[in-house]
Structure 1
Amino acid sequence: MPAQILLQANPPADPSLLPDSVLQLSVQLDTKNYLPNEELKAMKAFRRAADYIAAAMIFLNHNVLLERDITHDDIKSRLLGHWGTCPGLVMVYAHLNRLICKTGLDALYVVGPGHGAPAILSCLWLEDSLSTFYPENTRDLKGLHKLIAGFSVPGGFPSHINAGTPGAIHEGGELGYALSVSFGAVMDNPDLVVACVVGDGEAETGPTATAWHAFKYIDPAESGAVLPIVHVNGFKISERTIYGTMDDKELTALFTGYGYQVRIIDDTENIDNNLAASMDWALAEIKKIQTAARSGTPIVKPRWPVLILRTPKGLGGPKSFHGELIEGSFHSHQVPLPGAKTSAEELAALQAWLKSYRPEELFTAEGVPVAEILGLVPQAAEKRLGQKRESFRAYAPLAVPEWTSFCVEQGTQESCMKAVGRLLKGVVKENPKGFRIFSPDELVSNKLDAVLDDSSRNFQWDIESRARGGRVIEILSEHTCQGMLQGYTLTGRTGLFPSYEAFLGIVQTMMVQYSKFTKMAAENPWREPCGSLNYLETSTWARQEHNGFSHQNPAFIGAVLNLKATLARVYLPPDANCFLSTMSHCLRAKNYVNLMVGSKQPTPVWLSPEDADKHCIAGASVWKFASVDDGVNPDVVLVGIGVEVTFEVIAAAALLRKHVPELRVRVVNVTDLMILSTSGTHPHALSDVAFDSLFTHDKPVHFNYHGYPIELKGLLFGRPNLQRVSIEGYREEGTTTSPFDMMLCNHTSRYDVATAAIRGGALSNPKVAVSAHEHESYIKHLAVKEKEYILANGKDHDDTFDTPTF
């Protein structure tokens, strides 16, 4: 391949007029008669068997090997599944098996078109991985009937790849994430190759478009490799794909621009020879890049291989029916013959299709695959794609330093993130190969840069930072960070995703999809626990400083609250010491989605390490130092949930102590949001007795909450006597303004808390009631004067955030 070929700055509108040099950038191989005849014959037999099983899974509930002509009674009542992508997925699976048998390759198979589950399940059955985890799915006629008849029916395998699918680390139901998950999986796995099929429909998504750059964050000295295989079959559900309309020159130019070496595979008649030669070439290129890096002479900006696999959609299925094309069109996407249950004509077409695979040549009378097919199955079970340890049994716990050694003196002020950054620096030092931070270009801004003292950013396309083993991946794509984190976590390691609060919502649906995967994983006893997915949300709406309304959005909290209770954890530690305790816990926890929310700005350290430990274990406690008479017999309970809003609660308590000394206030802080859930709805939920001991059973309670008030209403729903509860939180009000003005705008300021306390206390305390209107009016007056000062001076009073005294 030429070392450099410059493309025209303004290419012609007609892609056929692109210079021939563009096409020359694609790798040319001599593939004719590449495979020995016996190997080629075995490859075709394996593919026929897997394609047959995949097709049968969509249609049949009886007569699974066609011992007789099929009848309408042999057809399932509901025909569910996706045929169109299956032949291509089977093809790649078979050729990966060939590579494993030939070279001993350690590989995982990540499938972007997750709806092609029949293809993967059929291959898993042929290699006898299903019976390893599902003993009833034996590799014989009984097990084959169980697989085929049980597909996509209640109690059987679903129509999508999921956590119940051996070998899977990605579900693929929501398109766009297969590639970034694959790159996360190979990080710190130097011997692993992940073959990732990206469908040409998935390739149209934004997350996939960015993920093509992910190889630029892979150090070949320390990590494995991803082999992307773009499956171009031309159609989605009912429309052409973009890639399907691009010719070879356009695709070559695109992927060459990304930085790949391109190999196009499109000779259907010679497809197995072509794909075998291409995969051998790709593996050799990977080894060349890795060997150079591991010998100390790394290739600068190495071009990793990418395969473009062109096959007709639904290859091998019905060619046409009723005058409409099926193979090679969108009609093959799901069920090619949807009327087979009732139409004699479609039933006959189905029988002809299934018989075209000649199952009698592929299986013995006992339903066992013939020896020719079994010869393409890796002999060592641990090498089989469905039994790779990395996919289900690889978790290695982190060595987390003792968090108390990073604590800050009580009574001082410190940034929660600065303190956490020092802890993370220790985590990086003690876990040089099992921990990474995936950050969308916000690490320094979020004041976590202590981790860069002894580590670096792992950006291989930057000559300055490449080959330095950095633990930080910074790419300004939340989707790519999320996908990498998922792949890294599900293959046994632990990661952290710090982000500006407002933009974590970009990956909300990815997080939800991941939680569905881990929910199902927890229900499969053969899948061992993995680390938690850890989010660190900072640069919050309350302290955005120079940013405006666009950077103010705490909605990701609600997304986590909506997850299944056994999976979800939301923490809002009130100070640096509590944050250290919380981070230490989350990095060691397994199987959860952990969300930690906190401030990067200096705020008071309210609790000593000992008290912070007790507070975090309890999830909430009465803060006696800010309460009247240690909180005994209160008139009103004031609750802070979140760093900045808790400060306002403490400031309100001090204000009330000065101006309304007859009001008996109890101050409570909640650090574990889930304790507020109705008793029995969450593992952390307070019992009714414990809830009343904190919040009393009848006194007014005012919550000052970091997130949207409706979230707290949902958590508290079902608790008795809720008419006594008032809640303030983020009201979707803001601009580029001062920190305290943000509190005023959203009714979470000390003045708002104080007036709520006066109104509540007046209900039961006559001494408060007699002057309540006067006190409330004065507090409101103070708020107005504060607003006027901010508008006049463009800043808060200098002492606004000094630690309150009592």
Structure 2
Amino acid sequence: MTGLETTDAWWRAANYLSAGQIYLMDNPLLRQPLAPEHVKPRLLGHWGTTPGLNFIHAHLNRLIRERDLEMLTITGPGHGGPAPVANAWLEGSYTERYPDVDWSERGMQRLFRQFSFPGGIPSHAAPETPGSMHEGGELGYSLSHAHGAAFDNPELTVACVIGDGEAETGALAASWQSVKFVNPDRDGAVLPILHLNGWKIAGPTVLGRMHDQDLQSWFGAMGYAPLFVSGDDPARMHEAMAAALDEAADRLAEIRKNVPLEPQWPLIILRSPKGWTGPQSVGGEPVEGTFRSHQVPLKGVREDPDRLRQLEAWMKSYRPDELFDEGAPNTMLRAGIPATDRRMTASAVAEGRRTRPLDLPETGAHEVDVSSPGSSVASATGQLGGWLREVFRDNPGRFRLFGPDETESNKLDAVFDETDRRATGEVHEADENVSADGRVLEVLSEHLCQGWMEGYTLSGRHGLFTSYEAFIHIVDSMFNQHAKWLRTTRRIDWRPEVPSFTYLLTSHVWRQDHNGFSHQDPGFLDVVSQKPGDMIGIYLPPDANTLLAVAAQSLGSTDRINVIVAGKQPEPQWFDAEAASAHLARGAGPLPGHDDADPDVVLACAGDVPTMEAAAAAQLIRAHSDLRVRVVNVLDLMALQSPDRHGHGLSDADFTATFGVDCPVVFAFHGYPGLIHRLTYRRPNHDNFHVHGFQEEGTTTTPFDMTVMNGLDRYHLALAADRWTGGHARSLGKLCEDALQRHETHVQETGEDLPEIRDWRWAA
């Protein structure tokens, strides 16, 4: 049998198995006349894209066998879930993971029944699917995931199937630029396969209606050399697809061999009918090649005998008796399976089975000497940058920094002593820290940074995503999808732990006075905090040493999402290195030098600017009243939750010992106040928590005026402490009110903060 005959047999088998997953719960080999009770009561799934996905997989297998390629596939049309499941079962990798779904009639019946069925598997290329690292439930991320997996994997080829509906999303449209960041010397190759079947759920697609010459021009300008495969006749399409894949593989081999400055990467554009090989018409209306095949092309099968017979005829058109022996793939199909370690549905890269922990250097050389709390001044991210330089040095090929054009802005430029920015083309004489070998990936698309790092970490490597705090919201939905993936993989025993995804958010809300209201938003913390506590960490280090401790812990963790919010401006330093580690282990506790016993009021704080303002407020209170005050810093925000909600949560006894039994707690918080109330609502003394945070007040102004506008400044905090303890410290109240008036006048007249604010230092 020829290679293409084997490919066609595989395609028919995968199509049969895919249709069976959507429709059948019994009688998998159709050995009995199809009866209503053999059909699922609820028909769920998506047929329209599935035969095209099976066609592609069958042809990629032929290429892998003939060229001994290491390849994984990313299935962008996620609702085509029947296809990767069918191919995993045919390749035997499904049975390796799920022994009860074996190569037998009973195993096939279980394969069919479980799909989109209570207690079964989802309809996407979900974590439950062997060889999958991309679900595709939300469209747009496939091509960025593919490139993330290819970075630093020079032997790997990633075949990325992109649906024409998905191609309309902003994230995918930006992802075509990813090819400019690939270095063939050290990275793998991505082979995009743009599958144009012309329709979304109910309407036509943009790219599906474009002419070939326009697609040629568009993709050619972006660095691709398109290869077109188009038609509906299976025999001719097999020949055309095989020729296109062979040419694409030859081009990739040539690029890897000669490494041109700006290569033209192969791209296959496959035009095939939506719902190909399915029912041509149903009830007098055309189905194959139209939007009507998008989901379930034959509905009402249990109730309508004619449609039941049509389903039976459709499934028998794949000639299952030629493909399966007692439910197992026959010898002809088994000949189409790649070598065990080459099967895409058992990819070690896609499943993260090549994960190695980072070699993390000691932080000592970058720690700030804190002889007394508040006496030293340093940039937290500036100190972190020096340590990250050593992380790059000690981990070639498995650590990268992802972010918009902000590495220097965020004071992390020390990394350029060890590596460069990745060049995106010709390097000019005026460029600084730019080379083809750079491991800092900067692009002005948060979607790309997020997608690249997801692909990079899910395939077993490590990274850090830095962003301005306000604009991380651009990837809220991508964060959600990644969190859902990680949570699901934790329940799958054959999925290994993979490196955590760590964000560093700086240029934050309280230091965006110069850029104004559009840059002022700390709400990503609210989004992240909604996720299950055992998989997220939210950290607000108040100084450099706590940031170093948090960064080392986060980059050494697995199967988590860590969010670190830290400032880049020079600020007071509170914790020496030993105290910083102890503070991180506890999560929350007194600020050094601020632990009055039996306090009348607790000033709590989370974040660098809130910590400085809380300390300044405590200094005012002690100098101008008889109130005993304790300042409590919250480093790990999840320490506020009860232990049954988050593993980092303080016990109720420790919470009470820290925040008091019934005394007022004035909480200076980096973000929106409601988040603190939500995290602490089940805690003792919650009714006495009074939270000051971002109130959606902002503009272009001075740094201190930003805090005043939102009631987070030292004077408002001191006034609140007085108010909630009875309002007896009249001299304190007058001092604060006078200071606020002087501040307003001074800022409007001079455009800068008062000298006592600019030059403030903590004094015990």
Contact 2:574 2:592 in 1 (8 A): no
Equivalent in the alignment of 2:578: 610
Three-state SS of the structure 2 residue aligned to 1:391 is coil
Q: CA deviation at 1:466?
A: 7.0
Structure 1 residue 301 corresponds to structure 2 residue 249? no
Deviations 1:426-470 (A, max 9, x none): 111111111001111111111111111221001232435776421
Task: State how far apart, in whole Å, the 1-side matches of 2:349 and 2:737 are.
Answer: 60
Aligned counterpart, 2:362: 402
Native 8 Å contact 1:60 1:74 kept in 2: yes
Matched-pair contact (CA < 8 Å) for 2:232–2:276:
no
**One-letter code of the match for 1:791?**
Q
Aligned with residue 375 of structure 1, among 326, 335, 352: 335
Work out whether residues 219 and 460 of structure 1, in 8 Å CA contact, stay in contact via their aligned partners in 2. Answer: no
- In structure 2, the residue matched to 1:645 is 610
State yes or no: 1:391 paired with 2:357: no
2:282 pairs with 1:316: no
TM-score normalised by structure 2 residue count: 0.97
State the alpha-carbon separation in 1 of the partners of residues 51 and 379 from structure 2. 55
Worse overlay, 390-399 or 176-185? 390-399
Q: Residues 743 and 466 of structure 1: is their aligned pair in 2 closer, same or farther, counting only changes over 3 Å?
A: closer
- Counterpart AA for 2:144: S
The CA distance in 2 between the partners of 1:569 and 1:148, in whole Å, is 39
Say whether residues 1:572 and 2:540 are aligned partners: yes
Equivalent residue number for residue 439 of structure 2: 471
Please state how far the C-alpha of 1:774 moved relative to its aligned partner: 4.7
Corresponding residue to 2:737 among 775, 780, 783? 780
Aligned pair partner of 1:697 in 655, 661, 669: 661
Taking the aligned partners of 1:574 and 1:409, their CA distance within structure 2 comes to 15
Equivalent residue for 2:101, pick from 116, 133, 137: 137
Q: Would the aligned equivalents of 1:648 and 1:748 in 2 still touch at CA under 8 Å? A: yes
Q: What are the Cα deviations for residues 247-289 of structure 1, in whole angstroms up to 9, with x where unaligned? A: 1111111111111001010033211111111111111111111
Separation in structure 2 between the aligned mates of residue 409 and residue 545 of structure 1, nearest angstrom: 29
Counterpart of 1:667 in 2: which secondary structure?
Answer: strand
1:362 aligns with 2:323: yes
Alignment-derived partner of residue 345 in structure 1: 306
Partners of 2:424 and 2:341 in 1: CA distance: 32
The amino acid that maps onto 1:595 is V
In the TM superposition, what are the counterparts of 1:677-692 in structure 2 within 5 Å? 677-692=641-656
C-alpha distance in 2, partners of 1:150/1:300?
Answer: 49
Distance 1:796 1:485, change over 3 A: same
Indicate conservation of the 8 Å contact 1:635/1:760, yes or no: no
Tell me which amino acid in the other structure corresponds to 1:371.
T
Hey, what's the Cα distance between the residues in 2 that align with 1:165 and 1:384? 13
* Aligned-partner Cα distance in 2 for 1:505–1:467: 30
- 2:498 partner SS: coil
Q: Give the Cα–Cα distance (whole angstroms) in 1 for the partners of residues 434 and 598 of structure 2.
A: 62
> Could you say which residue in structure 2 is the equivalent of 1:560?
528
Quick one: distance in 2 between partners of 1:524 and 1:509?
23
Please give the residue correspondences for 1:211-360 in structure 2 after superposition, counting only pairs within 5 Å. Answer: 211-269=175-233, 270-292=236-258, 298-360=259-321
Describe the shift of the 1:166–1:732 C-alpha distance in structure 2 as closer, same or farther (beyond 3 A). same
Amino acid in structure 2 at the alignment position of 1:385: M
Corresponding residue SS for 2:216: helix
Residue 746 of structure 2 aligns with which residue?
Answer: 789
Give the aligned residue type for 1:400: L
- Could you say if the C-alpha distance between residues 383 and 535 of structure 1 is closer, same or farther in structure 2, counting changes exceeding 3 Å? same
Contact 2:48 2:295 (8 Å CA) reproduced:
yes
Distance 1:555 1:382 in 2: 44
CA contact (8 A) 2:420 2:435 kept: no
2:640 touches 2:650 (CA, 8 Å); kept in 1? yes
> Are 2:513 and 2:706, in contact at CA under 8 Å, matched by a contact in 1?
no
Distance 1:198 1:468 in 2: 27
> Amino acid of the residue matched to residue 643 of structure 1?
D
Whole-angstrom distance in 2 between the partners of 1:680 and 1:174: 31
* SS, match of residue 690 in structure 2: strand
Q: Say whether the 8 Å CA contact 2:598–2:628 is kept in structure 1.
A: yes
Matched positions, count: 752
Code of the residue aligned with 2:124 in structure 1: it is H
- 1:79-121 CA-to-partner distances (Å, cap 9, x unmatched) read 0000000001101111111111111100111000111110111
Q: Partners in 1 of 2:511 and 2:541 — Cα distance?
A: 16
Q: Shift of the alpha carbon at 1:624?
A: 4.4
- Aligned residue number for residue 26 of structure 1: none
Q: Percent identity?
A: 43
| Conservation of the 8 A alpha-carbon contact between 2:158 and 2:189 | yes
CA positional deviation for 1:751:
0.5
Uncovered stretches (5+) of structure 2, i.e. residues with no partner: none
Q: Alignment partner of 1:137: what SS?
A: coil
Secondary structure in 2 matching 1:534: strand
CA distance in 2, matches of 1:423, 1:62: 60
Q: CA deviation at 1:405?
A: 2.1
Offset, 1:521: 0.8
Q: What secondary structure sits across from 2:162 in the alignment? A: strand
Q: Distance in 2 between matches of 1:342 and 1:777?
A: 81
Aligned to 1:20: none
How many Å separate the matches in 1 of 2:462 and 2:592? 37
Asked if the contact 1:219–1:467 (Cα under 8 Å) also holds between the matched residues in 2, the reply is no
1:521 corresponds to? 489
Displacement of 1:495 in angstroms is 0.6
Name the residue aligned to 1:14.
none
CA distance in 2, matches of 1:403, 1:136: 49
SS across alignment from 1:194: strand
Letter in 2 for 1:478: E
Give me the whole-angstrom Cα distance separating, in 2, the residues matched to 1:718 and 1:301.
59
Query: CA offset at residue 544 of structure 1?
Result: 1.2
Q: Whole-Å Cα distance in 2 between the matches of residues 390 and 194 of structure 1? A: 10
* 2: CA distance, partners of 1:152 / 1:702: 50
Distance 2:8 2:578 in 1: 67
1:754 equivalenced with 2:718 (yes/no) = yes
Alignment of 1:742 onto 2:700: no
Decide whether the 8 Å contact of 1:624 with 1:631 is kept in 2: no
* 1:51-200 matches, cutoff 5 A: 51-200=15-164
The structure-2 alpha-carbon separation of the partners of 1:772 and 1:657, relative to structure 1 and needing over 3 Å to count, comes to closer
2: CA distance between counterparts of 1:138 and 1:584?
44
Find the counterpart in structure 2 of residue 12 from structure 1: none
SS at match of 1:570: strand
Q: Distance in 1 between matches of 2:435 and 2:689?
A: 56
The Cα of 1:785 is off from its aligned counterpart by 1.3
Distance of 2:752 and 2:591 partners within structure 1? 30
Matches within 5 A, 1:404-423: 404-410=364-370, 411-423=375-387
1:7-26 matched pairs, under 5 angstroms: none
Give the TM-score normalised by the residue count of structure 1: 0.92
Alignment of structure 1 residues 405-444 onto 2, 5 Å: 405-410=365-370, 411-444=375-408
CA distance in 2, matches of 1:736, 1:174: 37
Further displaced range: 454-463 or 39-48: 454-463
Whether the aligned pair in 2 keeps the contact of 1:219 and 1:466 (CA below 8 Å) is: no
Letter in 2 for 1:311: S
Residue 762 of structure 2 corresponds to 804
Tell me the secondary structure at the aligned position of residue 339 of structure 1: coil
- Over the aligned positions, Cα root-mean-square deviation in angstroms equals 1.2
CA distance in 1, matches of 2:434, 2:674: 47
Q: Which amino acid aligns with 1:300?
A: L
